[in-house]
Amino acid sequence: MRTKVKAHTNIALIKYWGKRDERLNLPAVGSISLTLDALWTETEIEFNVRFKTDRLILNGQPATEKELRRTSKFLDLLRQRAGLSSPALISSKNNFPPAAGFGSSASGFAALTVAAARALKLELSGRELSIFARQGSGSAARSIFGGFVEMHAGRLADGSDAFAEPIVPPDYWDVRLLIGVTSQVAKKVSSTAGMNLSKETSPYYQAWINAQPVDLKTMRRAIEQRDFEQIGQLAEHSCLKMHALALSSNPGILYWNGVTVEAMHSVRDLRASGTQAYFTIDAGPQIKALCLPEDEPKVRAMLESIPGIQQVISCAPGPAPQILEVE
Ligand code: 2P0
């Protein structure tokens, strides 16, 4: 009952911000993402009746109590489905620096879901796996698939219609996402805390919910048609709307630093000079620039020339989780 799985992280082009149900972790809005090849988590899990309790090793170190509790609670869902109660030993490592601005939760919970399901001999569809992954972390549901992926908010109270699915096959279209690292300081407000505060206090929250279906539909069509300009413009717009929600929360949440703002201007200046580049930013200060493969050198050079950018990481579309070992 030992399995090892590699899962990739993802970047949202249409952002997820807000929950319709906290207990089941149901998103208030759908989202669209791109799975990334260069950033991944490898997770090994063993269930064994002889273990006394669950144990979790993260990047070679024992996890904190809080991390272990979250993981055990999540594994209970899969154990319950399998009708088993064996404790697990989990060892998980990321290939990306914590400074990359990706919480490990998307690739981490996707890898854990696929590894645990396989080790417990559960035969689950991609849809079912994404429903489990969602309960670990909303963005993890999208990492169950490669390439461009849509997460559905759903309407049902039990969450059975809140799942992710691919929009096009993983090799449908080659694009690039370049991550400019601006800071290595941990963010002060987590995504979960930030989106819950926005729901409670932002005067723009309902407008955000109302506009999302049109953004999702337009993005879906733009991906199918490989319309890069439409995708880029819409991704920037969705990012700025998400940050407008954070800023208009009370107290306001500001995820950017000065370098992030400089970089947003630089991306737009490059675009004005004729290179198709668009930015997106998550719940942190890193800048992420979307471009076509042929423009990658120019976009990288632009990011590297900004004072305060510490590192640039290039990503292409990535695959679905892969099972590396089964015993
Ligand atoms: C996204 N983010 O769509 C948005 C944009 C961050 C900014 O999904 O509370 O860690 O565990 O469901 O998955 C990060 O949120 O949140 C996220 P939970 P998660 O990528």
CA 138 to ligand 1: nearest atom: 12
Question: Torsion angle, CA of 13/15/21/24, rounded to 10 degrees?
Answer: 40
Query: What topology is assigned to 176-315 in CATH?
Result: Alpha-Beta Plaits (3.30.70)
Query: Best of 137, 143, 242 to mutate for ligand 1, by most ligand atoms within 8 A of CB?
Result: 137
The residue contributing the CA closest to ligand 1 atom 12 is 138
* Token digits of residue 249: 């929360």
Confidence band, pLDDT 50/70/90 cuts, at residue 326:
confident
- Computed over every residue of the chain, the mean pLDDT equals 96
Overall average pLDDT of the 170-197 stretch: 93
Q: Nearest-CA neighbor of 71 among 91, 51, 52?
A: 91
Orientation angle between helical segments 105-119 and 126-136, nearest 10 degrees:
130
Atom of ligand 1 nearest to the CA of 14: 3
Q: Which two tokens stand for residue 135?
A: 């309960």
Q: pLDDT exceeding 70 applies to what percent of the chain?
A: 99
Query: In sequence order, what are the beta bridge partners of 288?
Result: 179, 280
Domain ranges of the chain: 2-173, 176-315
Task: With a cut of 70, say whether residue 100 has pLDDT above it.
Answer: no
pLDDT digits (tens, 9 = 90+) for 108-150: 999 999 999 999 999 999 999 999 999 999 999 999 999 999 9
Look up tokens 């990288």; give the residue. 300
Residue 60, Ramachandran bin (φ over 0: left; ψ between -120 and 50: alpha; else beta): left
What is the spatial distance between Cα 249 and Cα 256, in angstroms, rounded to a whole number?
A: 15
pLDDT in tens, 188-246: 899 999 999 999 999 999 999 999 999 999 999 999 999 999 999 999 999 999 999 99
Share of the chain above pLDDT 90, in %: 94
User: What confidence score (pLDDT) does residue 327 get?
Assistant: 82
Structure tokens at 301: 């050079």
Query: pTM for the full model?
Result: 0.97
Q: What is the dihedral of CA 283, 284, 290, 296, to 10 degrees?
A: -160
Q: What CATH code would you report for 2-173?
A: 3.30.230.10
Check if the beta carbon of residue 9 is closer than 8 Å to that of residue 36.
yes
Cβ of 287: how many Cβ atoms within 10 Å?
Answer: 26
